[in-house]
Amino acid sequence: MNNLQNIINRQANVSRKWKQDLSTLTNFLNIPFPYIPLFIEDISTYIKLNDYENNRIKTIQTIGRIIRKDNIDMIVDLKKEVLFPICLKPLHKTDIFFKTPRNNKNNIWEYNAVRVYGTLIRKEFQIVLGISAIFEVTDINNCQNIFRILGLLARTEYRQIPTSKEVNKLFKEQWEEQKRLKLNCTPRNETESGPSIEVESKKVVEAGPGNCPFDTRHMFTKFKLTGKSFRVTSYNILANVYASTSYSKENLFPYCPEYALEIDYRKQLILKELIGFNSDIICLQEVDNKIYDNDLMPTLSLLQYKRHNTEMPKFALIWSKIENEKVKKRFLQRNTTAQVIALRSRERPLDVLVIANTHLYFHPDADHIRLLQAYYILLYIENLIEKIKQEHPQSNVSILLCGDFNSVPECGIYQLMTENYIPENYKDWSSNLEETVKDVSLTYNVRFASACGTPIYTNYTPEFSGCLDYIFYEKNKLEVEQVIPLPNDEELALYVGLPSIVLPSDHISLCADLKWIT
């Protein structure tokens, strides 16, 4: 028993070092925001443990029943098996009190509590707590070895702190009876009003996923950029047709809850992520027309984003050098599509940015096809720049090429973009032996660099993880000011793969701040 107690004491000391950045909760510090206790159904359910011993927010220690097992707010955020203390106490509804930064009520503990010690273990796709010992605690205020649990289950601002009876009523209304959302609109002016119109949601309002990895990334993008600087986001948002089928749910993404694969769920996360980046330029791939027209564009247009969509013409430039008819047939069966637009800076009228957004062919044995697709897009951009310079000879034209290239850095596209040359014997030409391309070399006279470098992965699934997405910029015209950090290994591995209940695509968005050099 003494050995166990020594372990417990050491872990208690370690726990004091586990701090959570509360900057995302800053707005809660100045409003009467009630924290409803965290209710836990059983110890083998997802729970999230946080240490708030820095006293910036007074939290409550409580135990009861979890309302939603799949709520991400209750997922544990530790990577390894760790021995740690957690405080448990059976509660009745009459024991529930709100505690807020402005509420000094501290009489939540009316009975003896128990202290439970256990080990985090992984079972299939869940991390659960295995109980190893239970001790009774009679003096809760003087117990230093107890982990504090904060349950952010209520996210509504209240102007008044409810009484205990009001708490019970509110608890019943908000968490035992899920509600639909109703919007009532009455048109009126200074003298008259018209008939009211109501619309009600078809589905009940459900709890969201809580904090997502992109919420942390948004700490680096709180403000829009000005002057010589601009922010770019590139994101393959995973088309609904690839996520919602039975095959996808059973074979491609079996680790992801089905509701989190539904586009009605994912689009909310996509919009939240995009809006929080405060980007000047957004390049998306795998965008369904319905989602674009009904959700993305109406929302983003309110933030002054405008639509642009240009279909590339047929490929017909280096055709005479390719003799393999199988290559030509396969290439022509694939749409080489890109979105290309030239934008003039409002603050620096002579600066013109040519932006291309693309999504290249995905097949594993098609490195040669992707290489030809990328080369064609570069030639198209080159022709466009020549026209711009003819019409506006004083312009300073820079190139930005974004997208899902379906090509890792070891393949030819990255070399073409950064080294400007692909020799005739390059390995990509024979990625499919029946379609080997012979006697073709590629050169290009603009040197690019990858704004986000070459991350270990921008696509993350159990079957494949690698860097497929890039923001290429013209190296001698632009420079990188900031790369928005990508989610770390722990955040991704916690859900086995992408998509997940906190990240809506199998790809990770790229975001970087660039500026003109001169």
Q: Quote the tokens at residue 253.
A: 């993404």
One-letter amino acid for residue 233 of the chain: T
Question: HEC profile for 325-364?
Answer: HHHHHHHHCCCCCEEEEEEECCCCCCEEEEEEEEECCCCC
Q: Quote the tokens at residue 465.
A: 């993880």
Catalytic choice (51, 288, 367, 404)? 404
One-letter amino acid for residue 146 of the chain: I
Reading phi first (left if > 0) and then psi (alpha if -120 to 50, else beta), residue 431 is in alpha
User: 325-332 vs 367-391: helix axis angle to the nearest 10?
Assistant: 60
* Cβ-Cβ contacts under 8 Å for 446 (sequence gap 6 or more): 378, 382, 399, 420, 474
Spatial distance between the Cα atoms of 121 and 5, rounded to a whole number of angstroms: 21
* H helix runs in 85-197, sequence order: 164-171
Spatial distance between the Cα atoms of 210 and 500, rounded to a whole number of angstroms: 13
Can you tell me whether residue 132 is helix, strand or coil? strand
Spatial distance between the Cα atoms of 316 and 296, rounded to a whole number of angstroms: 34
367 is catalytic: no
Specify whether the CB–CB gap between 400 and 356 falls below 8 A. Answer: yes
Spatial distance between the Cα atoms of 178 and 172, rounded to a whole number of angstroms: 10
Q: Which residues are catalytic?
A: 404
